Each structure stands twice: as C-alpha cells, then as structure tokens.
Amino acid sequence: MDSWHFARTGLAQKYLDVLQLGISSSLAIIAPRRKGKTLFVLQDLAPLAQEKGYLPVYASLWQNLNAPHEGLISALENTLAHLQEKPVLTRLLQSKVRKAALGNELLGKLEIEFADAPMAPTSGELAYLEQLLVDVEQLAGQKTVLLLIDEVQHLATSTHFSPLAHNLRTLLDQRQGTIKSVFTGSSRHYLNLLLNEANSPFYHFVEQVDFPDLGLDFIHFLVNKLARDFHIKVELQELDLAFDALDKSPYWMMKLVARLITSQENIKNSLSYTLGLIEATEDFAGLAKTLKPIDKLLYLALGTGKNPFGKEFLHEVEQKTEVKGVPGNVQRSLQRLLEAGLISQTYKQGYQIEKPGLTRFLNQP
C-alpha cells in the first residue's frame, strides 16, 4: 500500500525557481495552522532540492520554545555529523527540550505555542551557531545549503529572541550566494511583525510567497485511494464539500478519512465526528470564555469581511453589548484578538480570522 502523502512537486519546483532565478535568496511560506506546511517542506521541498543539488537542512524553532536557537544548532550539528559521516553526537543541551503538550490525551494535543520562560542565546551559543554554519558551508562543497526554518514567527514572540533574529539575518545576509533559506510560519500576525515591520531585521529581506490550499486533485487522490486500498466508495463532490467544511485543512481531512475507514460510517457522520474533534482539540468553549462580548461580535464580523470601524458594526456593538459602539472600543478589541493569535493583520489583506472553526462555534445557537 503506498503512502497517504499527496505529492506537491510542482509547487516545490515553483519555490525553487524563485530561489534559482535569484529573485530572492530567502522565501517565507505562510499559511495557517495544520495546512500541511511541515510535511510539504520535509517530503516535497527538501527531496526535490536535494535532487537539484542543494543541501537541505531542516530546523524547527519550536524544538525548544524557550530557546529557539537550539533547534537551529541541533539541525546544523546533525547535518555536520552526517557530512563527516560521524555518528550523531547528542550534545547535552543546557535546558531541557520540551515541546509542551496538554489537554486530553484521547483527543490529541493542544500545543502550547508560546515560551513561558524565554531565553536569549548566550554570546557563546551565537558564536557556536556561526561556526556550525561555516563548517556546514565548507563541507557542502559545490552545493548550496538550503536552510529550512519552521515556525520562524516564533522569533517575533519575545524580545529575548531578537538577538537570534538579528544574528540569523546577518549570517544569511553575508552568505546570499552559498546559503539560501525557506522560512515557514503559521501565525500571520507574528510573521508580519517579523517580516514587515520597519525595525525588524528581516524587513525587506524575505520574499513572502503564498502556500495554496490543497485542491480537488487532493480529494481525487483520496477518493481513489479509499476505493483501491479499502474498497470504500465515496463521491468526489461530497468529500470535497467535507474538505471545505474542515477549512481545507489536510490534517483534519486525514482524521475524517481515518474515521471513514475505521468506523465504516458515511461522510456525513464522519464529518460531524471530526468537527466535534476540532471543537474539543482547539478548546473553542474555553477560548470563547476568554472573549468579551465585543470580541465575539468583532471576530464574527471580520469573518464575514465587515469593516470593523464601519457604521454598521459600531451600531451592532452599541446594540448588543454593554460597551459603547465607538472606534476606541473596537481598537482595543482588535488588539486583544491579535495578541491571542485569533486574528491577523497584513498590509495586503487587512484583518483576517485565524481559526475559521471558531466562527462555526460562536454562531451556534
């Protein structure tokens, strides 16, 4: 039985072309959570890059939330060991690596996305990082190093991480010919802070590229696989509608498919099971409790593309909440939603909601 991975080689080629043409030596792929970024980078981009003569190095800045430099250091150490054909020496990291997970074991994990005790790298660690990069670059020979840095928005979540951000920018800037980089990030808000704020080290350094949603060809692939390997017949259109209802997240789509296979239920039931799973995993009920009435209204309004400062919305606030429908209140509410990562603001698209499933939850009677 072949894998469930739906290859996106064409997309990987497109990104490599941008790097190849010298338009930019650094790209940022931006998409919300659970859209398939990491899998794409590991299974499509890295292998194709390798084929084309790059030396891909993958690092996740979430390896240690409190010390993102450790993710970079261990990725470079592993690459170096590999190039020197040495067994991987696992360095004793100063602080414990911990990717915190809480929540209900059965439902999956609710990942913590922010550091609770952020640490700046020491000057020794920064020097070590640079040395590793120099060594890898040298041993790579003719190959161009392709640094794949996942969860890069993390650099903008604490001022303790600014030295690392500045350092990284300088290291990459000095080596635009021999090291290229692809950043991935899942929070448009923090990525925007990292890439588009004039005082950020990455301002104008990185070319932002869209990460398109998976389309009908992905659904087609699933339909065929279900039929061939599991003798489960589903209608393309019905499965595609379910994919829409899951906000085109492949992560949740695969949960639905797993449910289809194990429970022998139809799509409708598997979908409502999966929607329930989303609600519980993302803890929408808990989230909703942290929101003030104006925040809820604002979230829903942004979801439908309303102008948050328009007369219509201000009137709605006045009518439905205890606070006055004035721009100042809307501004404070926007700030709360931004800081909670529930919405994002970008220059191109204005305010956008980040958790579409929450809309469905808040709209429930």
The residues binding ligand ATP (CB under 6 A) are 4-6, 8, 33-39, 186, 250-251, 254
Q: Which is nearer to Mg ion, 75 or 171 (CB)?
A: 75
Cβ 24 to ligand ATP shortest distance, Å: 22
- Tell me the C-alpha distance between 128 and 130, whole Å: 5
Cβ 36 to ligand ATP shortest distance, Å: 3
Cβ 96 to ligand ATP shortest distance, Å: 22
Residue 36 contacts which entry, Mg ion, ligand ATP, none (Cβ below 5-8 A, type-dependent): ligand ATP
Total of residues contacting Mg ion (CB under 5 A): 1
Residue 250 contacts which entry, ligand ATP, Mg ion, none (Cβ below 5-8 A, type-dependent): ligand ATP
- Tell me the C-alpha distance between 24 and 27, whole Å: 7
Stretch that binds Mg ion, among 34-42, 90-98, 137-145, 220-228 (CB under 5 A): 34-42
Q: Which is nearer to ligand ATP, 31 or 317 (CB)?
A: 31
**Binding status of residue 359 toward Mg ion by CB under 5 A:** no
Q: Which is nearer to Mg ion, 7 or 300 (CB)?
A: 7
With CB under 5 A as the contact rule, the residue among 5, 7, 24, 38 that binds Mg ion is: 38
Binding mask 217-256 for Mg ion (x = CB under 5 A): ----------------------------------------
Q: Which is nearer to ligand ATP, 83 or 232 (CB)?
A: 232
Q: Which is nearer to Mg ion, 38 or 158 (CB)?
A: 38
Closest CB to Mg ion belongs to which residue?
38
Cβ 124 to ligand ATP shortest distance, Å: 30
Residue 160 contacts which entry, ligand ATP, Mg ion, none (Cβ below 5-8 A, type-dependent): none
From 17, 56, 77, select the one nearest 140 (Cα to Cα): 56
Cβ 150 to Mg ion shortest distance, Å: 6
Residue 54 contacts which entry, ligand ATP, Mg ion, none (Cβ below 5-8 A, type-dependent): none
Cβ 183 to Mg ion shortest distance, Å: 12
Closest CB to ligand ATP belongs to which residue?
36
User: For residues 91-110, which are near Mg ion according to CB under 5 A?
Assistant: none
- Tell me the C-alpha distance between 255 and 242, whole Å: 12
Q: At what angle do helices 216-230 and 250-263 cross, to 10 degrees?
A: 20
Residue ranges in contact with Mg ion by CB under 5 A: 38
